[in-house]
Structure 1
Amino acid sequence: MMAKKYLIVDDDEMILNRLSLFFEKHGIESSIASNAAEAKDLIEKNSFDLVTVDIILPGESGIELTKWIKSTKGLPVVLLTSLDDSIDVVCGLEIGADDYISKPFDPRVLLARTNAVLRRYQEIGGQDMQQKNIFDTNKRLLKLEGIEYSLSSTEFDFVNILLSEKGKAVSREALYRKMFDKDWHPEDRAIDNIVTRLRKRIEESPQAPKYVVTVRNKGYLIPEGAINTVRG
């Protein structure tokens, strides 16, 4: 299972460091931002599973940042608030924030809240995502988030092999042997070229792919459940 990735947005450096270390101990990768501009830049360049947002930020507020996240990315958001931020909490929840926690808080409680939010997303959105993300072997078609992609023969074989492994990484050598039925040589870049072309076509951010994922020293995978295979 791939590690979850959180973005922590807060102007308090102590909180940023504390939460980052805490999440890391619990197997969660995290990035940090001290204002809305930094957060937006990170969100545009990376893939995150959830964002924690402090309501009070320098410049653009956490409420405005949450509104932007929800309207452009649809990511889960948990607000971090002060005890006297009740009006802002209501505003945040009305624009789509998924939960909130008041400072000071126990990081274990925040972790439980974020896990609960992600479970709700999986339960409610999992089926919808599978309907949006379909690999149709009969039509040789890949449909991701409502966009259809006709695949070349090599792209089709590549995606088909990865999906058949159900989230397990497949090495370049194994991919090459299955796709071309001949021995692979380390200097051969055929698989890497297929990956590069495919990512440019289907990934919103090829530098931070969420469908064709590189696993260091192991190869490539498509996360289990990310795409539903339909066989004709």
Structure 2
Amino acid sequence: MQTPPEQSADLPRLLIVDDDWNIRDSLKRFFQSQGFDADVAENAVAARRKIHERAPDLVILDIMMPGEDGLSLCRSIAELKTIPIILVSAKSEEIDRIIGLEIGADDYVAKPFHPRELLARVRAVLRRLEASMSVQSGDDGKQFFEFDRWVLDIPKRRLRRDDGMVVPLSATEFQLLLVFLKNPRVVLSRERILDLTRISDSDVFDRSVDSQISRFRRKIEIDPREPKIITTVWGGGYMLDADVRRL
């Protein structure tokens, strides 16, 4: 019988959260055969314990679970940790995709799916994260962006306000903010934002960008209803209306 490759600290670490043991087991074996260090959890309580004990590089999270559902767990992970999340659900309605992206998920896969489709999405999300982290030090070795009353700590992917308050960012929020910080006072269309951040695959519609920006504004704007930092340019898209410095 074939055994999965030996796990190593160098392998990408996945956490698969699903209440169906058959799905958990089959996905774990599949991803191990593809060179991943895969772990499993049967519910939100077990998932939180696993994340605390051994933080994964990416979470594959089923939405429909008894007790606390996947959307609630996704929201709490995105608020506290910068871990990419791919949501999985038997539901395929447009509203589920919108909610999932709005609360911090990086992608969404509807059941039934082929494991290789999920593998492709996992690799795509990890590639996007790696690409975004490649700007950590830049040519000048500087690792911070300062704008308005905020400082972005690039290595830790964390926002700090001038009063000391720290705001953790989801992987997607981090990518989104980097795009704006690298293009200050430049109007970016929704299509351009999707292209630069690769928030999701081509089946995602413009509203996903609106949802992400709306959620992000609630974190950084004094009044999200009247944004002063990330402004809307009617007919054009969005713009970071602030001076930016590298520190």
How many residue pairs are counted as aligned between the two chains?
138
- How much has 1:128 moved relative to structure 2? 2.8
Alignment match of 2:52 (pick from 41, 44, 59): 44
Q: 1:145 aligns with which of 156, 159, 172?
A: 156
1:71 aligned residue = 79
Bigger Cα Rg: 1
Q: How does 1:30-41 map to 2 (within 5 A)?
A: 30-41=38-49
Larger helix share, 1 or 2 = 1
Distance in structure 2 (CA, Å) of the matches to 1:84 and 1:144: 35
Equivalent in the alignment of 1:112: 120
**CA distance in structure 2 between the aligned counterparts of 1:129 and 1:67, rounded to whole angstroms:** 29
Q: CA deviation at 1:106?
A: 0.4
Tell me, yes or no, if the aligned pair for 2:62 and 2:89 is still in contact at 8 Å: yes
Q: How does 1:149-168 map to 2 (within 5 A)?
A: none
Q: 1:21 to 1:59 in 2, by over 3 A?
A: same
Give the ranges of 4+ consecutive aligned residues of structure 1 lying more than 3 Å apart after TM superposition: 83-86, 129-133, 143-147
Secondary structure class of the residue paired with 1:128: coil
| Partner Cα distance (1:40, 1:86) in 2 | 28
* Candidates 48, 56, 69, aligned match of 2:64: 56
Structure 2 distance, partners of 1:108, 1:44, is: 28
Give unmatched runs, 5+ long, in structure 2: 1-8, 145-153, 159-247
Q: Distance in 2 between matches of 1:86 and 1:39?
A: 26
Q: Deviations over 1:141-189 (max 9, x none)?
A: xx97399xxxxxxxxxxxxxxxxxxxxxxxxxxxxxxxxxxxxxxxxxx
Task: Confirm or deny: 8 A CA contact 2:136 2:155 kept in the other structure.
Answer: no
Give unmatched runs, 5+ long, in structure 1.
134-142, 148-232
State which of 18, 30, 36 in structure 1 corresponds to 2:26: 18
- Provide the C-alpha distance between the structure 2 equivalents of 1:13 and 1:106, rounded to a whole number of angstroms: 17
Query: What is the distance in 2 between the residues matched to 1:121 and 1:145?
Result: 13
Classify the secondary structure of the residue corresponding to 1:80: strand
| Residue identity opposite 1:38 in structure 2 | A
SS, match of residue 53 in structure 1: strand
Aligned counterpart for 2:103 among listed residues 91, 95, 103: 95
Percent identity over the alignment is: 40
CA RMSD of aligned residues (A): 2.5
CA contact (8 A) 1:52 1:77 kept: yes
Q: What is the distance in 2 between the residues matched to 1:87 and 1:144?
A: 33
**Per-residue displacement from partner, 1:86-107 (whole Å, max 9, x unpaired)?**
4333211111100011111100
Question: Counterpart of 2:16?
Answer: 8
Give the CA deviation at 1:55.
Answer: 0.6
